[in-house]
Structure 1
Amino acid sequence: MADDEILQLAKWSMIVEEHYKKPMDMEWAKDGKDGKLYIVQARPETVQSKKNLNVLEEYVLQTVGIKTPTPLVQGMSVGSKIGSGKANKIISAKDINKFKKGEVLVTGMTDPDWVPAMKLASAIVTDQGGRTAHAAIVSRELGIPCIVGTSNATKIIKTGTEITVDCSGGENGFVYDGLIPYKINTTDISKIKKTKTKISMNLADPSQAFNLSFIPNDGVGLAREELIIANTIQIHPNALIDYPHFAKASAGQSKIVRFSDFRTNEYRELVGGYLYEPEERNPMIGFRGASRYYDSKFKDAFALECRAIKKVREEFGIDNVQVMVPFCRTVEEGKKVIEIMASSGLKKGEKGLKVYVMCEIPANVILAKEFLEVFDGFSIGSNDLAQLTLGLDRDNFEIAKVGNENNNAVKLLIKEAVRVCKQEKKYSGICGQGPSDFPEFAEFLVELGIESISLNPDSIIKTSILIAEKEKQILNHKS
């Protein structure tokens, strides 16, 4: 079809929907003889339009009247849902074509190559990883129950076994044999009070942006560019094409797009990646983030990222997109990145462009004032900040239990980062996992007076209620 035909159908669809004042399901046809387009049917849409966007769902396992089940395996739960189905154990991403919709994905560990299968899963169970591993991050954003760090799921669970994956009970998740019934309790949240703290959304999958935009939020606090590269382009590296899906989903609200933050082992998985990337013993603290952007081996690729953002802002007219630099180790690195951005057409402050930096390294806090002279504000990456403060490998389940964002050392750093942002009149936000997982951590952030909290889609409503109540308590205490 020609572009003008596609646009004509889009215009007709809008006219029909405006006439009926409701979402419509339409069918069209193109005449094989005269080439004309026709709308041949229009009826009320009966799936998305019936969803109540003001409802909070709570999953509860139904074990009354049956023997208390013994878990097959257990690990860290991701999200708060329950899922069930036939297990499909897949060890290599090369075999994901064997995975069918509605099955439970059982594997060792995931990376971006697994996302197509993850989108089809009713639940996901992995041997390795912690709360901030790839499987956990993507599962949250897809709204799929997931249990990570079981250590032995691939040994215990056999393909074809019917299992139930329960993430409804808090930090620990359990996998049970058989299909155990569960119910979903709902709560009307239409009367949630608007919070002083901005509540943004973490978003990885462009195809989910429109649907997720209906969840009450103040924009996108973190859009991960590297996942767009892995899911859409899959080549090392290339022009980016999916920014409009993020930004158009809720026009007018700020969208913070983080420049690519793949580690070398993840880049090697892309087509041709092994030709450009070294093998590192610990890529988590290796050649990643800002250090790549001015390096001769990656500078040209970063220029493509900058040109893609410039195209979205200036040619597509979506100027609510702001950018963020990840893993910036030194102030000097920050200055180099700003210079390269400017030479690629992205000049900080020009046409309203804001450039933020991830505050995820202790050095970012220690030299906060100096970093904020270079950037427009901090988005605290509590996942890496906890890892580097406590000396943890966040993909290692064995030591994940040692600590997290709730550790006092991490909280002291976050408190100082927010304080300096306020002092320097710069933006302060957080896009790490902590506020989504720990209610008390979200309350701590509200007490600090942080400007924005970016949450995973499945926890926005629940945490919004909590934050509204906390703000009310603070207000009452002051009066």
Structure 2
Amino acid sequence: MPNDTSQVVWFEELRRADVPRVGGKNASLGEMVANLSRQGVKVPPGFAVTADAYRQFIDANGLQKTVSSALGEFADGKLSLAEAGESIRRAILRGDWPEETAQAIRAAYDELNRRTAQHEMDVAVRSSATAEDLPDASFAGQQETFLNIRGGRALLDACRRCYASLFTDRAISYRQAKGFDHLKVALSVGVQRMVRSDLSGAGVMFSIDTETGFDKVVLINAAWGLGENVVQGAVDPDEYEVFKPLLSDPSLSPIIGKKRGEKALKMLYTSDSGQPTRNVPTSKAERAAFVLSDEEILALSRWACVIERHYGQPMDIEWAKDGQTNEMFVVQARPETVQSRREASAVKTYHIKKKGRQLLAGVSIGEAVASGRVCVIENPSEMGRFVDGAILVTRTTDPDWVPIMRRASAIVTDHGGRTSHAAIVSRELGLPAIVGATRATHLLHNEQEVTVCCAEGREGFVYEGIADYEVEDIDFDSIPTTRTKVMLNLANPAAALRWWRLPADGVGLARMEFVVSNHIKIHPMALVRYDSLKDDAAKRTIDELTAGYEDRTEYFVDRLARGLGRLAVVQYPHPVVVRMSDFKTNEYANLIGGSEFEPKENNPMLGFRGASRYYSPRYREGFALECRAIQRLRNEMGFRNVVVMIPFCRSTKEADRVLEVMAENGIRRGEAGLEVYVMCEIPSNVILAKAFAQRFDGFSIGSNDLTQLTLGVDRDSAELAELFDEQDDAVRWMIQSIITQAHKVGADVGLCGQAPSDQPEFAGFLVECGIDSMSVSPDSFIAVKRRVATAEQTVLSDIAE
């Protein structure tokens, strides 16, 4: 059925160049319907009421003068922002539709019903401003969306309310800040078949990591019911992360993050035309379950890649799942406006030097630190008492809060996730924010001095008092190239992605025990032998942490594989050397349920640790879980760049036993390209270097332990501190010897100790010895890289002479 294209245009007839005609949102929907349907991306059908229709409505009701007059009085100080906005909105809502426009909208709605074989179907009515969703400005949430609208009369009313929302206080304020002319911005309206996500779930996804700008992951947030709660930050959603480069292989499942959110509310339809949606509490089962299956997470992620590839830039995408048909849909897509504009060649890093007591924790937004006085605000109407530069603390935010947020130095909210309104706006404003802190409005009070720290990974913290911190600019263009590989030491999955821009040669040491202690928290044997646990308190905690896992051991394997996956993606496809667990017995005993499985030792440093545990009846079943995680990481998730490393291996006999146990658990050296390294931290590793090299592909020198055992000095002894010296002649001999002997038989040698970071001359010594790689902490990477480059030049000069 033909329609008046000056008034109404079907999505399939639109392209992204049509922003002046139908606004960014509708132009993008048309672009996807026309170009991406063939690639499997599903968009609900619909049409756009054009910007010309808006202008005709304004002209027909003589509203141009009303708008100009009210904004002029606001500019002259005769009206407040609230008064000017209210007068314009009231005039628009009283306006009458030109008959031609009303007829075109009704006819298109009837045609949409015919196309979908429905009667008075429910539709989503979304504002689409002609200046929105541009690469340098996000008007997300500035104008209204109305859901569950049924019937021609209700549709016309919803369109009129969309027009009025072009002049909310927040929209006027934002346009002023961005320099847009109020009278040149017009509004189109998108009318789209509703997806019955009230019977399932919905959310938001980004084709880029929203905190670090890492462009190789898709970030998905999901909650039950309609997606508005996720966009508005009214709930703490599920969060999923997927590694994009491995998505093209359908046999792999590269999901590197699955965090279950509380999802306390869900938005449903109602039969009340005056209030078509409402929030209700979720059930206990819904809160304990993930909204999406792994297959659905991967399908959405592939769509995100298709959309990003088509648009040629990172994208911010809204999705919904229909609970009646189980179909997934994309309902919006716009350019991501923060990380895609971030300067890639220079980054600021923040380091907390001295901090007060931790008061709160939540989801970290922004990778920065800010100190100041707290200002708790319950409602935007209280903005008059907000002090510029204060730390805004509130339950949640929506677009009404933008004028206050612009004046804050940091933001803390009780609710919300990484794709909530507070998170999105904070990123665009360049503010550190902690969302989903749960009890911020109860625990923090006005005038209280605090520090908001978002520089310690995915979790952000509020500390008591004004912390001492430093800010450093990192210029990547100034980093030299070197023959010797300089790699990273990583342990914390939460903070790993922030280092993706460093031009490292891989990860030389990924510490499994940190992932276990911080990401899993439970002793693996307490999961294997849960039924025999005597500690009732530990059992209750284990029950809480493993909720949703039918097999408790799967909790360990799943969390360990994904945690290590976050470390593996940072330098993919460069090698990532994962050291199997190297806890000492006293450290293992501190894990939940661990005390029942660990012997008490007088000297845990030289006791039951490393390789000796892996074949022992005390821990063999726990090591089997570690092996399962590695197998999943490499074979199911696809991270074939992962190298396994065995710590504290005292003898070749022990090496053979460990390799045998690994093979029993499906991990065989050489199979599918798997390399197995050994830590060189015991004199026997040096003495029998050639024998160890027959069993392992390479060595990684642990200079702390090697120094301790070579010199017979307890590295933790204050009395012997002066004797502990990694540059002692005996230690240097050991290091030079292992490098020489290993190279004779073709084995690589690296070093993963702290010494090159702290001592420039030690880095030079390693270069002179011909070491293959050094692995250092990320914050010292640039300094070490420069030291290595200088040392290599010196060595070349000496050879030339």
TM-score using structure 1 length: 0.71
CA distance in structure 2 between the aligned counterparts of 1:452 and 1:209, rounded to whole angstroms: 20
What residue number does 2:513 align with? 226
Aligned residues: 384
Deviation digits for residues 319-364 of structure 1 (CA, Å, limit 9, x no counterpart): 2211111001122111211122222222222222211110001221
Percent of pairs with identical residues: 47
Alpha-carbon distance in structure 1 between the residues aligned to 2:742 and 2:352: 40
How far the C-alpha of 1:40 sits from its partner, in A, is 5.0
Query: What amino acid is aligned across from residue 789 of structure 2 in structure 1?
Result: A
Instruction: Output aligned runs, 1:88-103, within 5 Å.
Output: 88=357, 98-100=359-361
Alignment of 1:274-293 (within 5 A): 274-293=595-614
Match of 2:495 in 1: 208
Query: Does 2:579 correspond to 1:273?
Result: no
Matches within 5 A, 1:100-249: 100=361, 184=471, 186=473, 188-237=475-524, 238=553, 239=557, 240-242=560-562, 243-249=564-570
Task: Work out the CA distance in 2 between the residues paired with 1:199 and 1:436.
Answer: 11
Residue pair 2:346, 2:475 contacting (<8 A) in 1 also: yes
Letter in 2 for 1:194: T
Aligned partner letter, 2:561: I
Q: Distance in 2 between matches of 1:182 and 1:307?
A: 41
For residues 763 and 317 of structure 2, the distance between their equivalents in structure 1, rounded to whole angstroms, comes to 43
Take 2:698 and 2:600, find their aligned partners in 1: how far apart are those partners?
33
- For the Cα contact (< 8 Å) 1:55–1:187, is it kept in 2? yes
Offset at 1:280?
A: 1.2
User: Aligned partners of 1:315 and 1:182: how far apart in 2?
Assistant: 42
Mapping for residues 451-466 of structure 1, pairs under 5 Å? 451-466=772-787
Q: Offset at 1:416?
A: 1.0
Contact preservation (8 Å) 2:320, 2:330: yes
The corresponding residue for 1:441 is 762
Offset of residue 430 of structure 1: 0.8
| Alignment partners' CA distance in 1, 2:625 and 2:467 | 50
3-state DSSP of counterpart to 2:700: strand
Change over 3 Å in CA distance of 1:456–1:53 after alignment to 2: farther
- Give the SS at the match of 2:497: helix
Counterpart mapping for 1:393-404 below 5 A: 393-397=714-718, 399-404=720-725
The aligned residue for residue 377 of structure 1 is 698
Q: Is the 8 A contact 1:88 1:103 kept in 2?
A: no
Gap regions ≥5 residues in structure 1: 60-80, 90-97, 105-159, 164-177
Q: Does 2:293 align with 1:17?
A: no
Are the structure 2 counterparts of residues 417 and 57 from structure 1 closer, same or farther at C-alpha, using a change threshold of 3 Å?
farther
Q: Cα offset for 1:374? A: 2.2
- Letter aligned with residue 312 of structure 2: K
**Pair 1:356 & 2:677 matched:** yes
Deviation at 1:277, TM superposition (A): 0.3
Q: After the TM superposition, which of the residue ranges 245-254 and 440-449 deviates more from structure 2?
A: 245-254
Moved more, 199-208 or 4-13: 4-13
Instruction: Sort the Cα spacing of 1:348 and 1:100 in 2 relative to 1 into closer, same or farther, 3 A.
Output: closer
Query: Does the alignment pair 1:343 with 2:664?
Result: yes
Q: 2:628 aligned with 1:307, yes or no?
A: yes
Letter in 2 for 1:88: R
Moved more, 389-398 or 408-417: 389-398
CA distance in 1, matches of 2:346, 2:586: 40
CA shift for structure 1 position 393:
3.0
Q: Is the alpha carbon distance of 1:44 and 1:290 closer, same or farther for their aligned partners in structure 2, counting shifts above 3 Å?
A: same
Residue in 2 that maps onto 1:471: 792
Name structure 2 gaps, 5 residues minimum: 1-291, 363-368, 372-447, 452-464, 525-552
Structure 2: how far apart are the matches of 1:254 and 1:419? Answer: 23
Per the alignment, residue 151 of structure 2 pairs with none
Q: Give the whole-Å Cα distance in 2 for the aligned partners of 1:302 and 1:369.
A: 27
TM-score, normalised to structure 2, is 0.44
Counterpart position of 2:734: 413
Q: 1:192–1:232: structure 2 CA closer, same or farther, 3 Å change rule?
A: closer
Distance 2:718 2:345 in 1: 36
Task: Using the TM superposition, give the Cα deviation of residue 225 of structure 1 relative to its aligned residue in structure 2, in angstroms.
Answer: 1.4
Q: Which shows bigger deviation, 236-245 or 290-299?
A: 236-245
- The letter for the 2-side match of 1:462 is A
Secondary structure of the structure 2 residue equivalent to 1:379 = strand
Q: How far did residue 278 of structure 1 move?
A: 1.0
Higher relative contact order (CA 8 A, sep 6+): 1
Q: Which whole-Å deviations, capped at 9, do the CAs of 1:281-324 have from their partners, x for residues lacking one?
A: 12111100111112121222222322322232223332221111
In the alignment, is the contact (CA less than 8 A) between 1:436 and 1:463 conserved in 2? yes
Larger radius of gyration: 2
Please say if 1:422 is aligned against 2:743: yes
| 1:385 positional shift | 1.1
**What is the CA distance between 1:203 and its match in structure 2?**
1.1
Per the TM alignment, residue 413 of structure 1 is displaced from its structure 2 partner at its CA by 1.1
- Cα distance in 1 for partners of 2:645, 2:595 equals 27
Match of 1:122 in 2: none
8 Å Cα contact 1:192-1:468 kept in structure 2? no
Q: Which amino acid aligns with 1:364?
A: N
- The one-letter code matched in structure 2 to 1:296 is P
**How far 1:454 sits from its partner (Å)?**
0.9
Specify whether residues 82 and 421 from structure 1 end up closer, same or farther in structure 2 by C-alpha distance, changes over 3 A only: same
The one-letter code sitting in structure 2 at the alignment partner of 1:198 is K
1:82 and 1:388, CA in 2 relative to 1: closer, same or farther beyond 3 A? same
Displacement of 1:252: 2.3
For 1:439 and 1:56, how far apart are their aligned partners in 2? 24
Name the CA distance, whole Å, in 2 between partners of 1:376 and 1:368. 12
- The one-letter code sitting in structure 2 at the alignment partner of 1:448 is C
CA contact (8 A) 1:303 1:344 kept: yes
8 A Cα contact 1:84 1:179, kept in partner: no
Q: CA-atom RMSD, angstroms? A: 3.3
Question: Which of the numbers 694, 713, 736 marks the counterpart of 1:392?
Answer: 713
Give the secondary-structure state (helix, strand or coil) at the position aligned to 1:340: helix
